């Protein structure tokens, strides 16, 4: 059992910085429902019983108006950290990871981020916005909020984002070069940011930007299980219920969430 604080779920129903489709703001409740669905039990593959009293907590969903969303997100994450909790955020679009990491990076100055995504999300700006869900990791790295950023499953990188990755020293593990288990070991604080579109659309059609050629759920779990480090926080983002088919993506998201929680608890 780790000495780190109890993992605490926080729903962040924000999709105001999505570039193509809205809908990710409806995700938190649906992932929660899949997590608690009686179709499965509460044990993780790593042999952790999430049904044990106190295994994790749920702080519910944030409420905010869009104009002040980022301030509310940053302050809420900071408050959880100050209370000794480890925030596990359910998006929402990927833009929320910037205000989350503003709080986490201040709390843990030598943070490593393991970022699962089809997209590098490193645009300096996208369609006129520097806060777009296509930009959070550019903001995080230029602010020096992480010492190491490892991206896994990337398969859409363009020239601009390759320059950005070089500029910030990002380790981009493209889908074609996986597995990348050895890159997921780091002494010290680790944060996991899991964009559901890292999964192949065959496994997770409920995303705003379907990108074929992605991970199976099994490959994603294998990479999550390979992580070594003190996991101090995580997010699961970009599930879009509007795009889902029969809830299969919510179930995949809940499975990923379970294994992340299990890793946080078992170390
Ligand atoms: Mn993303
Ligand atoms: Mn993505």
Closest ligand to C-alpha of residue 197 is 2
What ligand is nearest to the CA atom of residue 154?
2
* Closest ligand by atom to 193 CA: 1
Burial of residue 149 (CB within 10 Å: 0-12, 13-18, 19+) is buried
Measured in angstroms, how far is the CA atom of residue 16 from the centroid of ligand 2?
15
Report CA(133)–ligand 1 centroid distance (Å). Answer: 6
Q: Examine residue 216 and state whether it is found in any structural domain, yes or no.
A: yes
pLDDT (0 to 100) of residue 111: 98
Q: Which domain holds residue 236?
A: 7-266
Using DSSP bridges, classify how beta strands 185-195 and 228-237 pair: parallel, antiparallel or unpaired: parallel
pLDDT tens for the chain, 267 residues long, are 347 899 999 999 999 999 999 999 999 999 999 999 999 999 999 999 999 999 999 999 999 999 999 999 999 999 999 999 999 999 999 999 999 999 999 999 999 999 999 999 999 999 999 999 999 999 999 999 999 999 999 999 999 999 999 999 999 999 999 999 999 999 999 999 999 999 999 999 999 999 999 999 999 999 999 999 999 999 999 999 999 999 999 999 999 999 999 999 997
Q: Ligand 1 center to residue 10 CA distance, Å?
A: 18
pLDDT score at 4: 87
Q: What is the DSSP string of 26-85?
A: GHHHHHHHHHT-TTS-SB-TTS-BTTSTTS-EEEEE----GGGHHHHHHHHHHHHHHTT-
Total structural domains within the chain:
1
Q: Which domain CATH number covers 213? A: 3.40.800.10
Residue 2 resides in a domain: no
Q: What is the pLDDT of residue 262?
A: 98
How does DSSP classify residue 5? P
Q: Cα of 121 to ligand 1 centre, how many Å?
A: 6
Considering the domain boundaries, does residue 1 fall inside one?
no
61: in domain: yes
- Ligand 2 centroid – CA 83 distance (Å): 31
At 267 the pLDDT is 79
């Amino acid at each position: 059992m780790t000495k780190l604080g109890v993992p605490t779920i926080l729903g962040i129903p924000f999709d105001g910085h999505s570039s193509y489709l809205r809908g990710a703001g409806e995700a938190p409740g649906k992932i929660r429902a899949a997590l608690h669905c009686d179709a499965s039990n509460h044990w993780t593959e790593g042999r952790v019983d999430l049904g044990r009293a106190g295994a994790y907590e749920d702080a519910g969903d944030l409420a905010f108006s869009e104009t002040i969303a980022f301030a509310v997100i940053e302050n809420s994450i900071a408050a959880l950290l100050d209370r000794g909790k480890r925030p596990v955020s359910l998006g929402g679009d990927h833009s929320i990871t910037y205000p989350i990491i503003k709080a986490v990076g201040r709390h843990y100055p030598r943070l490593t981020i393991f970022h699962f995504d089809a997209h590098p999300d490193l645009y300096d700006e996208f369609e006129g916005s520097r806060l777009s869900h296509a930009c959070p990791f550019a903001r995080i790295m230029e602010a020096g909020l992480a010492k190491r950023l490892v991206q896994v499953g990337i398969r859409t990188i363009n020239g601009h984002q390759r320059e950005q990755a070089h500029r910030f020293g990002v380790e981009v593990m493209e889908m074609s070069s996986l597995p990348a288990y050895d890159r997921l070991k780091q002494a010290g604080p680790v944060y996991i940011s899991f964009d559901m579109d890292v999964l192949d659309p065959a496994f997770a059609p409920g995303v705003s930007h379907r990108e074929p050629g992605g991970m199976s759920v099994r490959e994603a779990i294998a990479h999550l299980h390979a992580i070594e480090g003190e996991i101090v926080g995580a997010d699961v983002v970009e599930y879009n219920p509007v795009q889902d088919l029969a809830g299969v993506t919510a179930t995949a998201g809940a499975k990923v969430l379970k294994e992340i929680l299990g890793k946080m608890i078992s170390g």
